[in-house]
Amino acid sequence: MKHIQAKYEDGVLTLSMTRAEKKNALTQEMYLTLALALEDAGQDDSVRVVVLRGTPTVFSSGNDIQDFADDGSGKEKLASVRFMKAVTSLQKPMVAAVCGYAVGIGATVLLHCDYVVASEDARIRFPFVDLGLCPEFGSTLLLPALVGQQKASEWMLLGSFVLAGEAQKAGLANRVLPNDMVFEEAESIARALAKKPPAALAATRQLLKAASRELVEARIQKERDIFQTLRSTEDAQSIFNSFLSRAR
């Protein structure tokens, strides 16, 4: 698929979002391609680590707004739901390489990654309230646990951009580097992880996530139910249509 590129080398599967002309806004087709790649990676013993990245200028601006504006019938079959499940079910480490904007699901997916490398110009945003929506992907549980209740409330309720340095200080990013070093560093971390004993790596990762796994799955479902209700409200649809009018 032209907007998702996959590369495998030395145990590392790198998945790149390449819809740069739309700031890597994720369509249902892109979600499905990513989900299938992650599902296959989970079953392929040769894949030890997954790297998720965008382009050198943008990680992802989040879900394509047109999808939000469209009719939500058959919502449980959406590829975005399958993508979330593929991420949470993956039993192998995931490394994120974030350059530029990481917005919406481009931000919440970072909470499920094991290592995040961000560029100095990275800008992370949880814009859901401003879109008339609620956060998704278990982020209302995971973000407070990671950065603290007050900081999570600030980021999610105000929806302001979080700069790379603040993200690192709060624990959302592991490393912050110049833009041209981000992809190389992410691949380096991934190769180091790929050389670890796979059974021990998987077991340790599972133990680290075990306490919250059921809670996260339940929160994802609760968020999804509320999200779908909000998405059809007059406020949200008005915001979506206004955005799409400006984008034309």
Helix ranges (DSSP H) in 113-197 = 139-147, 149-153, 164-170, 182-194
Residue 160 pLDDT > 80: yes
Q: Can you name the residues that pair with 58 across neighbouring β-strands?
A: 101
Domains and CATH numbers, the chain: 4-181 (3.90.226.10)
| Share above pLDDT 70 across residues of the chain, in percent, rounded to a whole number | 97
pLDDT for 77: 52
Confidence tier at 248 by pLDDT (50, 70, 90) = low
DSSP labels for 213-244?
A: HHHHHHHHHHHHHHHHHHHTSHHHHHHHHHHH
Q: Does the pLDDT value for residue 68 go beyond 50? A: yes
> Which of 6, 70, 9 minimizes the C-alpha distance to 38?
6
246 SS3 class: helix
Q: How far apart are CA 207 and CA 209, in angstroms?
A: 5
Give pLDDT tens digits for 74-83. Answer: 554 589 999 9
Task: State if pTM tops 0.85.
Answer: yes
